[in-house]
């Protein structure tokens, strides 16, 4: 099984310019009213019993396409049926610059949803708009616009969640948390509980909760503290796990911890060799959008000014001097040249471990992205296709607040960790080096994304993205 970079897209200046023009219009647009509450009942799309909270990174969008298509096919749902999708937007740490509009464009191209079809929720601004101010010290123009519409968006999303939950023929409602909550999980679920109590009660009995528990997600999900009046994300998640245990998905654990196959390090290495070409064949705008997104979003992770580029131990004075004078200036000229220089330098050994794949991807000219949230779909696929190849620990779900690590204890909670009072399971592969199974997994990822995209109409202008 290959472990090289596979998300390689051809750069095309003409298509890149089209992307730039669309992004400019999306950035400056007004927030469209939610589609569903304003549509006559006979014209409404069928809602799948699937609720997804996401931050719309590339791995999220692929995971959404995969889970959406998998559920629709296995339920025999209509082609235009859709999940309830909530974009938990974070203009402070992730969605500033031009990242927000790039995510929106990729979502339209990969999922087929416009801004009207999803619920884009932001945090309250905080003192001096701290929750909307990106590392460049700028406030994205969409932040205040979305905040003005927040109550209407919350109400519309809560209505849809309640509608999904009370359908008599629906036995299970899948709820995916694949983003940091930032209090948004709690705000929306509180809205459901307060305005649609019967819907929330039904959801608590029907919910099958799957959560991706990378430390960035868990540390950004709110837990009770004396300084904050709440509501808190983990409290609401607890209520949804009344009837079924939460499924804790950790890429590190799922693929075998230290015994994992090297191909599982990122989406770039795990993708099948044909995926990039398949995506490009279906939408040249998507390949150009992915390039634009990765250049900015992943590029920010490894740029010289990023203080966490190197591991905790400081470089020596001579090493810093070498980095500043010989390597760092290349980033403003060409990210590939910068990454190539860094990857071949002895300083590469001191780059933070989780950033090395990103440096290598820029070096090779491919599009690095985390595999993380797609593991949620892989688990879903395994439960239907090869459940015998998985093991799982079941017990008390715990959280280490300091490092964000979670786990499931069948007996005692580890010292220094907090019992979240939720029953949970944490699945993992029995044989992490099972190459045949890993190949089947990545084939399933490609097949579902490509099939989903085959039904999406093309984007001709920004209006097709905004809705």
pLDDT given for residue 36 in this prediction: 65
List average pLDDT for each run of 10 residues in the chain, which is 467 residues long. Answer: 77 95 97 72 74 97 97 83 96 96 98 96 95 94 97 96 94 97 97 98 98 96 86 96 97 97 92 94 96 92 88 83 94 89 94 88 86 97 96 96 94 92 98 97 96 94 96
Residue whose C-alpha is closest to residue 376's, from 253, 239, 206, 241: 253
φ/ψ of residue 2, rounded to 5 = -70, 145
Angle between the 99-111 and 13-28 helix axes, to the nearest 10 degrees?
Answer: 110
pLDDT given for residue 365 in this prediction: 83
pLDDT given for residue 294 in this prediction: 92
Kindly list the structural domains of the chain, giving each domain's residue range(s) and its CATH number in brackets, ordered by start: 1-292+371-467 (3.90.245)
Q: For 48-102, give the secondary structure using H, E and C.
A: EEEEEEECCCHHHHHHHHHHHHHHHHHHCCCCCCEEEEEEEECCCCCCCCCHHHH
Which pair of structure tokens corresponds to residue 124? 């309250």
From residue 445, give the alpha-carbon distance in Å to each of 5, 64, 428.
16, 11, 18
Beta carbons within 10 angstroms of residue 90's beta carbon: 22
Tell me: cis bond preceding 231? Omega within 30 of 0 counts: yes
pLDDT given for residue 3 in this prediction: 61
Kindly report, residue by residue over 30-70, the tens digit of the pLDDT. Answer: 999 987 655 555 445 689 999 999 999 999 999 999 999 99
Kindly report, residue by residue over 186-235, the tens digit of the pLDDT. Answer: 999 999 999 999 999 999 999 999 999 999 999 999 999 877 888 999 99
- Burial readout 303-339 (b: 16 or more C-beta within 10 A, e: otherwise): eeeeeebbeeeebeeeeeebbeeebbebbeeebeebb
Q: What percent of the chain has pLDDT over 70?
A: 97
**Token match 């509009």: residue?**
101
- Please name the residues in contact with 257: beta carbons below 8 A apart, sequence gap of 6 or more: 428, 432
What pairs with residue 54 in β-bridges?
A: 87, 178
Sheet containing 207-212, strands listed edge to edge, beginning at the edge strand earlier in sequence: 119-122, 82-89, 47-54, 173-178, 207-212, 246-249, 418-429, 390-399, 406-409
Residue whose C-alpha is closest to residue 222's, from 197, 191, 188: 188
CB distance 426 to 392 below 8 Å: yes
């Amino acid at each position: 099984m290959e472990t090289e970079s596979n998300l390689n897209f051809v750069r095309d200046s003409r298509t890149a310019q089209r992307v730039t023009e669309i992004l400019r219009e999306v950035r400056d647009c007004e927030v469209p009213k939610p589609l569903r509450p304003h549509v006559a009942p006979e014209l409404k799309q069928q809602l799948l019993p699937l609720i997804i909270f996401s931050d719309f990174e590339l791995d999220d969008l692929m995971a959404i396409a995969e889970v959406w298509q998998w559920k629709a096919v296995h339920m025999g749902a209509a082609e235009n049926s859709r999940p309830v999708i909530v974009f938990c937007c974070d203009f402070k740490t992730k969605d500033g610059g031009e990242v927000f509009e790039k995510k929106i464009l990729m979502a339209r191209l990969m999922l087929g949803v416009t801004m009207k079809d999803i619920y884009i929720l932001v945090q309250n601004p905080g003192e001096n708009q701290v929750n909307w101010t990106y590392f460049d010290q700028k406030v994205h123009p969409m932040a205040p616009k979305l905040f003005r519409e927040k109550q209407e968006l919350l109400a519309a999303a809560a209505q849809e969640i309640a509608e999904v939950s009370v359908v008599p023929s629906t036995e299970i409602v899948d709820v995916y948390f694949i983003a940091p909550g930032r209090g948004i999980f709690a705000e929306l679920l509180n809205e459901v509980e307060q305005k649609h109590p019967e819907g929330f009660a039904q959801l608590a009995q029907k919910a099958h909760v799957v959560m991706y528990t990378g430390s960035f997600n868990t540390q950004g999900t709110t837990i009770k503290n004396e300084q904050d009046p709440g509501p808190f994300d983990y409290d609401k998640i607890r209520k949804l796990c009344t009837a079924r245990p939460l499924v804790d998905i950790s890429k590190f654990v799922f693929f075998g911890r230290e015994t994992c196959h090297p191909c599982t390090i990122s989406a770039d290495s795990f993708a099948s060799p044909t995926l990039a070409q398949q995506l490009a064949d279906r939408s040249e705008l998507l390949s150009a959008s992915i390039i634009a997104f990765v250049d900015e979003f992943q590029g920010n992770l490894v740029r010289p000014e990023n203080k966490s580029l190197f591991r905790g131990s400081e470089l020596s004075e001579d090493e810093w001097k070498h980095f500043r004078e010989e390597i760092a200036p290349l980033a403003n000229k060409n990210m590939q040249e910068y990454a190539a220089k860094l990857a071949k330098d002895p300083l590469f050994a001191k780059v933070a471990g989780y950033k090395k794949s990103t440096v290598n991807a820029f070096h090779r000219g491919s599009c690095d992205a985390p595999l993380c949230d797609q593991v949620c779909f892989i688990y879903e696929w395994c439960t239907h296709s090869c459940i015998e190849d998985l093991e799982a620990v079941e017990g008390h779900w715990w959280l280490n607040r300091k490092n964000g690590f979670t786990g499931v204890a069948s007996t005692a909670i580890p010292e220094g960790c907090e019992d979240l009072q939720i029953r949970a399971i944490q699945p993992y592969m029995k044989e992490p080096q099972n190459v045949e199974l890993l190949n089947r997994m990545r084939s399933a990822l490609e097949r579902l994304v490509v099939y989903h995209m085959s039904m999406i109409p093309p984007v001709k202008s920004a209006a097709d993205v905004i809705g």
